[in-house]
Amino acid sequence: MQPADERFWAALLRAQDLPQLADLVSRPSWMAKGACRDHPEVSFFPVRGESTGAPAKAVCRSCSVRAECYAYAVEHEERGIWGGTSERERRQLTRRSAAS
């Protein structure tokens, strides 16, 4: 399941969170081009201590919308693998960018 799809269904199951659901319905068009859509067997939300997210990052390396995905994840403080990076890696990159 792709990151956007997982978020969509999670929000749908919490129907009381309608503002978030509305946000997901109007998701950016680049999400439809994500390479992750062709790899439903790969988890983009590794469980802490159980995975490095390496399989997901390998899929991201061939993705044509990697830059858009990374920027979206930073802006929305997403969890999991987005744009070929983990949440921790995005925080580190953001801190380094702010410091330079």
Q: How far is the CB of 15 from ligand SF4 (least distance, A)?
A: 26
- Rounded to whole angstroms, how far apart are CA atoms 85 and 89? 6
CB of 55 to ligand SF4, least distance (A): 11
- Least distance from C-beta 79 to ligand SF4, angstroms? 12
Residue 46 tokens, joined: 């590794």
Q: Interface residues for ligand SF4 in 24-83 (CB under 6 A)? A: 34-36, 44, 59-60, 63, 65-66, 69, 81-83
Binding flag, residue 90, ligand SF4 (CB under 6 A): no
Binding-site ranges for ligand SF4 (CB under 6 A): 3, 34-36, 44, 59-60, 63, 65-66, 69, 81-84
